[in-house]
Amino acid sequence: MILKTYGWSFGVTVLGLVLAGWYGLSAHLGLGQALLLVVILCILEISLSFDNAVVNATILERMSEFWQKIFLSVGIIIAVFGMRLVFPIVLVSATTGLSPIETVNLALERGDPETPGSYGYELQEAHPTIASFGGMFLLMLFLNFIFGEKENHWLGFIERPLEKVGKLESVQVIVAGIVLFVAAETFAADHAQTVLASGLAGVLTYLVVNGLGELFNVEEHLEHQDEHASGAVGAEGHAVPGERSSGPTQVAKATGKAAFFLFLYLEVLDASFSFDGVIGAFAVTTDPIIIAIGLGVGAMYIRSMTVHLVREGTLQQYRFLENGALWAIGALATILIISIEVHVPEVVTGLIGLAFIIAALISSIAYNRKHPEVDSHVGVEHAEAH
């Protein structure tokens, strides 16, 4: 099980260390220093993105095994080369007016990130744009959770009243719009226009990708009902009354267009989570190649952890874990928006998310001890599913 789930991660780790060693020697960085930096960055990425694995698992469990493999293989290429290497270069190129080649040369100079004109400095200057887009995307995800109907209530004294407020149509968009306006007028006095534009782009990206995913998910479930009347599954993932369901896992397995848009949704979500890691990496090193390798290896482990959570049925065994992860997203969204103007240490970001996850896990264990019949029922369902 471990090798099957983490085999890709182990392979990428070996490849990453070999590449880092070769690059360290060829770039006169030193073999030992290059390997050490990659290990540190890998640990940084895992610590900052553990909550990302839990959230991703809630979405990945709805996808077929084929698309889970796509997420683990093709998705990691997007995560490593797209978000950890190409995206920062494109962003610096767009904000400075330099060509991509000039930006790469600037990055390879490994200048001090505190020095104006250096790659690290220019990336820091683009932070309001990054933070606004990522913060608003994650905020929409959190608001959709907090105002939506939930099977389990963890912080019930907060979640239940807000669930009732969620019956107001488009309340998520209204709240997000208010937050974005306030942030642009207070936290981002010097970058108000940029923050508004990138924040709006974050909200629209969430609405489009999430909306398309739900649309095709519903359509494919309806087609499934028509073609398999004897064992259909309803559009909301529940067995159709009067019809025989073939098992508890079929309600979660999206394929085709639905799975494709869920895949896109996961990639945008991963991008939003990765912003703080990319920026925080410059506190360790300014070398873009070492950053891409270190964060890429860490991102691979996060993906393997996501698959592990799905295959082990962890989210079913620990009923409040998903709630805790989404509260962690709300905290990260808040931190990103605040960081538009105020620097928030990366360790704070990582610890807050981890604290929510641990608290939700402890609450889940306590609940299972008080209700052993629920815990055993979930275990039986998961065993039948596999």
Structure tokens at 3: 């090798």
In the chain, the number of structural domains is: 1
Of 15 and 68, which is predicted with more confidence? 15
pLDDT value, residue 176: 92
Of 181 and 289, which is predicted with more confidence? 181
Which pLDDT band holds residue 230 (cuts at 50, 70, 90)? very low
Which amino acid, residue 209?
V
pLDDT value, residue 380: 42
- pLDDT value at 49 more than 50: yes
Q: Phi and psi dihedrals of 63, rounded to 5?
A: -105, 155
* 144-203 pLDDT tens trace: 888 988 888 888 888 889 888 888 888 899 999 999 998 888 877 677 888 898 899 889
Q: Phi and psi dihedrals of 221, rounded to 5?
A: -65, -40
Structure tokens at 253: 């397995």
Q: Is 350 helix (H, G, I), strand (E, B) or coil?
A: helix
Q: Is 238 helix (H, G, I), strand (E, B) or coil?
A: coil
* Residue range(s) defining the domain that contains residue 36: 2-237+245-385
Which amino acid, residue 313?
G
**What residues have CB less than 8 Å from 91, skipping those under 6 apart?**
123, 126, 129, 130
83-92, 131-140, 228-237, 322-331: the lowest-pLDDT one: 228-237
Which pLDDT band holds residue 112 (cuts at 50, 70, 90)? low
64-78, 221-235, 275-289: the lowest-pLDDT one: 221-235
